[in-house]
Each structure stands twice: as C-alpha cells, then as structure tokens.
Structure 1
C-alpha cells in the first residue's frame, strides 16, 4: 500500500495516463452513422495488420470506455502507451498498434441528427 508521497514502483513508468485526442476535423462533414461504419470497418480489419487479437480487443474496449475504465483496461492488458491520446501503443512483445482518431473521439464537423 502506498501513501500520497510514494513513487511508482520500478517499471511503472511505461503506464501513461491518457486523454481523449485533440479535436480533429474530417475531410468533409459526416454523420454519426458514417462515423460508426468507419469505426466498425477499422475494428474488423485491425487484427489483420499484425499484433495479437486480445490486444486489439482490449484497445477496442478501452476506446469505447470512459477514461478511468479505459486506463484500467489498458493497464491490465499490458499495453504500453506511447502517445497519451492512445493513438500509438505497443504490447509487451513490441508489436505496434496504431489507432486512428476517429475510433477514439468524434470529429468537430459531425452532422447531428
């Protein structure tokens, strides 16, 4: 058990707290249905680009969860977060996982309705 002034255990430096990606803009306004289709296509094809299926599943769960739960999911899966917005990650074997911003947040030019 630690106290307020305790330091992270050795080896915990790799666990970055992350945040939502910075606001981004799609090349043209898109609807929520189009965004969901893009996300579905990405998650369906992502494992074919390499890496382990269970890490992709953990990253998908983290992308769809609230930040506090997402942090726990990533930590428990052993994912090493390079960028604090979760766009670039590695597994413990060194495989790289790149997530596009559209699976992590909504664009500023999303058409509502």
Structure 2
C-alpha cells in the first residue's frame, strides 16, 4: 500500500481495523486500611492532582483525566475520547496517551472508600 495504483491486501485490511473504545465504569467498592474523613480524602486527592504532572506525561492529559475523574460517566467518556486517551482499565486507573505515555490514577482519586468516618 502507498502507491496510487496499489491495492489493499487482506493483511492490510486486518491492520486497518479500528480499535475498540473501552467504556468507562465506576471503580469497584474498596476500603482503606484505616477509616478516613471526607476532608482528609479531599486533601489526598488535591495532593495527587497537584503532583501528577511530575509522574511524567503531558499536563494536558493529566488535566483531562482530572476533569474526567470529577465528572459523571457520560461526560467523563466524552472528555477521555476527545483528549485521545487510551483506557487500559475501564475504571481509569491505568490509561495511556496517543504517544504511549502511561498515566496511573489511584482508586482514592476516582471513588470514595466504604469506610468513611465523620469529620470532627
């Protein structure tokens, strides 16, 4: 393939099959080793997003992932799709950008644990 007069072979057609898009879903319920308050969880999330670009990858992708993590599932799917993010795990814990950079997001950033305690 490549010349004006070339024809697509069976092997070329197999390579050109578009990749399937993984749908985002909520993370499974999880529990921290020790109970946590909502304010402490918020602080942990803020610290993660503040330092995330230092883990590598593009800041724009981290910003898109943060917006997706804080949105409902339909909007999160639209954000991820429009940013060209490749989802490995449907719960967004592992993603890649189009250049192959890996982005890992801890579960505490994506959902709430089952063992909250009230703020005092």
For this structure pair, what is the TM-score category when the shorter chain's length is used for normalisation? 0.7 to 0.9
What count of residue pairs does the alignment treat as equivalent? 104
TM score, norm. by length of structure 2? 0.83
Alignment of 1:6-85 (within 5 A): 10-13=17-20, 15-85=21-91
Residues of 2 paired with 1:33 and 1:86: CA distance? 23
Between structure 1 and structure 2, the one with the greater Rg is: 2
Q: Which residue in 1 is equivalent to 2:8?
A: none
Moved over 3 A (4+): none
Structure 1 residue 112 displacement after superposition: 3.6
Distance in 2 (alpha carbons) for counterparts of 1:84 and 1:37: 25
Which residue of structure 2 lines up, in the alignment, with residue 6 of structure 1?
none
- Higher RCO structure, 1 or 2 (CA under 8 Å, sep 6+): 1
TM-score by length of 1: 0.88
Q: Which runs of 5+ in 1 are unaligned?
A: 1-9
Q: CA deviation at 1:27?
A: 1.2
CA displacement at 1:12 relative to structure 2: 4.0
- Residue 104 of structure 1 aligns with which residue? 110
